[in-house]
Structure 1
Amino acid sequence: MGPMSFSEFLLAIGEDKLAGFILNYQYGDSVAEIAHKRLLELLRSYYFVGGMPEAVAVFADTRSYREVSDVHNSIIDTYREDFPKYAGSRNLLRMLNVFNFAARNVGVKVKYANISAQDQSATLKKDLELLAMAQVISKVVHSHCSGLPLQADIEEKVFKLLFLDVGLMNAISGLNWRVLSQLDEMKLINEGAIAEQFIGQHLQGILADTPNRELNYWLREGRASNAEVGFVIALQGQILPVEIKAGATGSMKSLHQFMGERGRSLAIRFDAGLPDDFEINTTIRKGDATREVKYRLLSLPVYLVERLNEIVASCLEKRVAH
């Protein structure tokens, strides 16, 4: 069982109306500015508390971030104490190092040398696999995304990580409530791993009952520049790139590149803004030539990630109808 979702968190803390709004949101519905602002405030609380049931229960009872921190520390200690159960004869100090690395490097392409310069890649790979089997971490593997299923076209050696829960991730990373509460919305979306972890763990929830539930991303490494799309998932028979980014559509060069190279027609962006729908007309470079790229961008506030499957289904239906 994974962490509680954001809507479950809202229900647990007595925000039933806002939870109901998320759970019943339909493509094209408007969002009142006052509800939007309140949801972003509560989202910030969720980023700190996370979805571990014990942490949510303490927050629901006390509204104390300090007491939530005590619960996080207790949960983290329990995980560390459990290492011997599945680590066998493996080096526990190294396992702890890998555990901490995973929490502090969510969304970053894994290079074994960055985990430890002293240990062999094969050893560290085994440590990561054990943590993945224990469902403490999960891999997001690069796929070339040339067709479905996405997992048929992966490069297993190229991957980034998600941690079990955004609250635990922040606790291990040493991010306290005072710092988190002062970050503006733009920084919360664009900087660090918090929004990527949040979106990732909710996408895992969406895909939990599907045959291909592993998450993927797209990475193209070039001599001059790299292009990367945060997640690529299969929903409603479509290959959907998912970006987490605040700001103008012109700042999404990687997404433009993906859409042009893979010929997709619909992309998703999560940010701190109200829901919106854009027709993107831009150009990309392919070798020495430029190519025109046209696609539809569905822009959604981060808190609506749980409804992505239903929103995409409605969006595609309306496109067919028109």
Structure 2
Amino acid sequence: MKIHPKNNNLTRWPLRQYYFVGGMPEAVAAYAESRSFQAVSEVHNSIIDTYREDFPKYGNRRDLNRMLKVFNFAARNAGVKVKYSNISREEQSATLKKDLELLCMARVVSKVVHSHCSGLPLQASLNEKSYKLLFLDVGLMNAISGLNAQAISQMDDRKLINEGAIAEQFIGQHLQGLLSESPNRELTYWLREGRSSNAEVDYVVALSGEIVPIEIKSGASGSMRSLHQFMGEKQSRMAVRFDASLPSVTTVEAQITYGNQSKEVSYPLYSLPLYLVERLGDIVGAVSKKLVV
């Protein structure tokens, strides 16, 4: 049965249309011509089947079932720190690592590597053992994860941003495009693992000479403890939050524990709707010129 836009709430939210359709040219063309989500699903399935059929080309000795498991894991766990035991408890970590490296070389997935963010370039202080994954395309990711148009249309904004990988994948693939012409274009994130709790910032990018931490979160600033910790430790001059609200700028006042001492933190937080990610470079550039050196 065809799912026509007039029968689906997805048409009321263009951004959610993109979450479902994605940016693969054939999928975009199918939707532009037919306005049918079913037609898009057929394209997604065809592309996914093509990738799976290509697995034997990655190496004659590679186990195809294992490659398929790694492929599906990457799509269903975008934005999650990779632990090889979560992919398979039967396979050796070194073997799974090689499979992931092959998918990265084929540009089916890409890594977001932990950086200590001690200065520019961010890639100078990487911990390459700690990384998250981004899939090739948000539309394909959702197709593999079993999220159809109806499921995406029925998610409320808070759940969509806070609980799923969709928003993080969406922002991540657009950041990749933003940095595509930069000599240091690998995406990074920040992680501090403690005995009692961890702190993690979704992405950290370098734009206009600024180290910019980026959180993807819906809710009050008081819930952004990891961002507070980063700003207190790294003393960046601005922070960005992508959510479902209108653009705003606020001064955040928070208290963190750093070096066994309490520390007051104050920083400007630029809250942006997710669809403005393509303008992030312009926004950071304009802000950077206004900041006092």
3-state secondary structure, aligned to 1:255: helix
Alignment equivalent of 2:57, drawn from 63, 68, 85: 85
Query: For residue 91 of structure 1, what is the amino acid of its counterpart?
Result: D
Give, in angstroms, the shift of residue 318 of structure 1: 2.7
Cα distance change on mapping 1:40 and 1:131 into 2, 3 Å = farther
Corresponding letter in the other structure for 1:217: Y
* Partner AA of 1:185 in structure 2: D
2: CA distance, partners of 1:120 / 1:101: 16
**Aligned in 2, Cα 1:40/1:130: closer, same or farther, shift over 3 Å?**
farther
* Contact 1:145-1:262 at 8 Å conserved across structures: yes
Q: Distance in 1 between matches of 2:288 and 2:122?
A: 20
Moved more, 40-49 or 227-236: 40-49
Q: How many correspondences in the alignment? A: 284
The superposition leaves residues 87-126 of structure 1 with CA deviations (integer Å, 9 ceiling, x where unpaired) of 3321111111100000000011100011111111111110
Q: Which residue of 2 aligns with 1:7?
A: none
Residue 291 of structure 2 aligns to a residue whose secondary structure is helix
Counterpart code for 1:67: A
Q: Distance in 2 between matches of 1:40 and 1:240?
A: 32
2:146 aligned to which of 157, 174, 178:
174
Residue 16 of structure 2: aligned partner: 44
Equivalent runs, 1:20-169 vs 2, <5 Å = 41-169=13-141
1:239 equivalent in alignment to 2:211: yes
Aligned residue among 215, 225, 229 for 2:197: 225
| Equivalent residue in structure 2 for 1:206, among 169, 175, 178 | 178
Q: CA RMSD in A?
A: 1.5
- Structure-2 residue corresponding to 1:280: 252
Report Cα offsets for 1:269-292 as digits up to 9, x if no partner: 100001111111111012432101
1:40 deviates by 8.0
Superposed CA deviations along residues 197-254 of structure 1, whole A, max 9, x for unmatched, are 0000000000000001100000111111110000001111111101101111111000
Aligned mate of 2:231, from 259, 273, 279 = 259
- Hey, what's the Cα distance between the residues in 2 that align with 1:291 and 1:46? 42
Q: 2-side partners of 1:177 and 1:190: how far apart?
A: 19
CA distance in 2, matches of 1:319, 1:258: 19
* Cα separation, partners in 2 of 1:253 and 1:40, compared to 1, 3 Å: farther
For residue 314 of structure 1, the aligned residue among 258, 283, 286 is 286
| Contact in 1 for aligned 2:11/2:17 (Cα 8 Å) | no
Q: Deviation at 1:39? A: 10
**What is the CA–CA distance in structure 1 between the aligned matches of 2:57 and 2:260, rounded to whole Å?**
56
- Secondary structure (helix, strand or coil) at the match of 1:131 reads helix
Aligned equivalents of 2:276, 2:11: Cα separation in 1 = 10
Identity value in percent: 68
Q: Give the AA of the match of 1:221.
A: E
Which region of structure 1 is more displaced relative to structure 2, 310-319 or 122-131?
Answer: 310-319
Offset of residue 160 of structure 1: 0.6
> Distance between the aligned counterparts of 1:90 and 1:114, measured in 2?
19
Q: Counterpart of 1:283 in structure 2: which amino acid?
A: Q
Which residue in 2 is equivalent to 1:291? 263
Contact 1:242 1:269 in 2 (8 A): yes
- Residues 131 and 137, structure 1, Cα contact 8 Å, conserved in 2: yes
- Equivalent residue of 2:290, what SS? helix
Distance 1:87 1:39 in 2: 43
SS in 1 for 2:147: coil
1:186 pairs with 2:158: yes
- Matched residue type, 2:174: H
Q: Given that residues 27 and 40 in structure 2 are in contact (C-alpha distance below 8 angstroms), is that contact kept between their aligned partners in structure 1? A: yes
- Pairwise CA distance, 1:67: 1.2
Does the CA contact (< 8 Å) of 1:87 and 1:130 recur in 2? no
Instruction: Tell whether the 8 Å contact from 2:174 to 2:277 is kept in structure 1 after alignment.
Output: yes
Please give the secondary structure, in 2, of the residue aligned with 1:160. Answer: strand
Q: Which runs of 5+ in 2 are unaligned?
A: 1-9
